[in-house]
Structure 1
Amino acid sequence: MSPWNWSDLHLRDPWWLTAWLVVGYLGLRALRRRPGAAVFYSEVSLLRLLPRTAAQRVGRLLPWLRVLALALVVLALSRPRAGQEEFRIRRQGIAILMCLDRSGSMETPMSLGDTQMTRLDAVRHAFRLFVTGGGPLGGRPDDLLGLVTFTGYAEARCPLTLDHHALLELLDGVQVARRPPGLGGPLRPASPSGLTAGGGGELPEASIPSDPYWAEERLTAIGDAIVAAVDRLKDAPAKSRVIILFSDGEQTAGVVTPAEAAQAAKNLGIRIYTIGIEPNQATLREIAEITGGRAFTAADPQALQDVYREIDQLEKNPTEGRLYTQYRELYGYALWPAVGLIVLELVLSSTRFRTLP
């Protein structure tokens, strides 16, 4: 705490100072009090003519040491202290869950100035700035953040947490779905019915992978991902709950449709902000409209950062300003000298200035 000054000083219980009247009365009694005779002589008038020694003069001050000590004890009881006012801002965090598409198309390259990066790298970079702050982004230090990734199925990567460092480490470990080696010829995006994305005939037999896990990895289950995110947000101890959904494709798999999942989120008061690559992703727009969120398009890394900046502005933390006063107790400055004076008076009256009983 910074040094205090006399202008900050005040008494917590000033009514204790009325006891100084009692202390003053005791002091006057000590001043007027004459000690009784310890040894009787027939004539003591001649003794009064003798000069007083320094020890005798000091000895008469001993009762005043006790009076001064009592005065300091009374001052300590009045609780002198110095106060400094401080204005603090209290923030209440919100709960944000990131839903990230990790299908193979997320390896598509994007350019940020002279730097080449994949779509997944661009999302990582923008989300890191959103969480930790940088440039126009202030960061989200008070928010509960979590992560769900999805392809043909949803996978919870990180529960809601304030440990943002751990969250970002898990995000760095997310990889796009890649075809395992030895599965045959070139693969084209497939719909759940087994037809090509363009609506043509069936896929050539050589293009159909023999690994069912890889077949699921190639698909996109947006609805299931939203359900997984809602399940983790529904009991979050926050007034505001948000899902940020990033996908560069349409729904091609899953048990729950995106509209059904969005309606479930709306019923629980959860908003969804969607981020797509193409401007005509109708599914993402519908999800945002149902939940009262917004749909964004980010065709390059800079646009993606701009989207996160806009979401950062939309989802402000509730703040509350309070004025606090921090006190430094000063009663010790009176109490310890009082103890010292009492000890000194007892020692002197029992040794050098001891009187006959």
Structure 2
Amino acid sequence: MTQRRETQSRSTPAALSRRGKARTPIPVESADIRLIRIFLRVVEAGGLSAAQSELNLALSSISEKISALEARYGLKLCKRGRGGFALTPAGEDFYKEAQRLLGTLDQFSSRVSALGAQMPRSLSIGLVDNTISDPLCPISRAVALFAELAPHVHLEIITLSPGELLREVIGQKVDLAVGSFPRAAMGLDYLSLHDERHNIYCATDHPLFDLPDDQIGIDTIREHRIIARSYWASRDIRVFAIAAPHATVSNMEAEAHLILSGTYLGYLPDHYAAQFGDQLRKIRPDLFSYVAKFQVATRQDWQSRHATRAFIEALQQASNELRRP
């Protein structure tokens, strides 16, 4: 192809971000995939007119779809018109990244489609609560990928605390669990997905809400009521060096209720706390912030269990897409 310049220094996501300030990642939706495939056909054909017969679309329709793709990702991908067709520098990089993306999708589809005849009738998945507000949570995208590749498998999804999920996996009551697990159980594999940032929060009626951060230390925190999560109680007590918590909860919604009362301090994931806006304030993130590692926990024979393997691969693909700059 003569229109596209081969410039290796622009071929990575890092190179793309060097051209300007990194933006919030845009999730790749199924509609995007179709637009990306059209863009690749146009590039490989050498222009919109040359791609018409292969795509079986009107010239105006092809142009609209390229424009929609540019608007979706905020990039000028190509020059088109009387002067002919040519990729912009951003378009060259986008083309290479699109090739990688579709290559990964094709490999995944080929591997899993070969397992179709061996798929079991059902798959049981365990989740920790309140992950839907996390923009990096890959569950929804993974379900879409899995449903396309294994449409006849019945999904059962349960929500439990991390410790309970691990017991269900060990007891073979669920096939895999997704969460952040404070304690690793023997005999399981743990596969990394993404990170979740947590901070300690107080509400508007709490005495610390208007106190500047530089006047708050660990001794200040210990003077107030502290919530412990039953599944991470030892961590919460250890961080603040207290003998016992003033309240214990088993899920984030219960913790949010206590914090919003204005009486307690407690940890929440930042994505979950964001829904409460100015009602909550994070306290000393420089001291108390931490990252929870989200993983898939499953029995060590997971690669021989076809539906479990397919769903885990869908989770990994979805997680990679969401974390891609």
Instruction: Give the structure with the higher percent helix.
Output: 2
* Structure with bigger gyration radius: 1
Does the alignment reach a TM-score above 0.5?
Answer: no
**Structure 2-normalised TM-score?**
0.20
**Structure 1-normalised TM-score?**
0.19
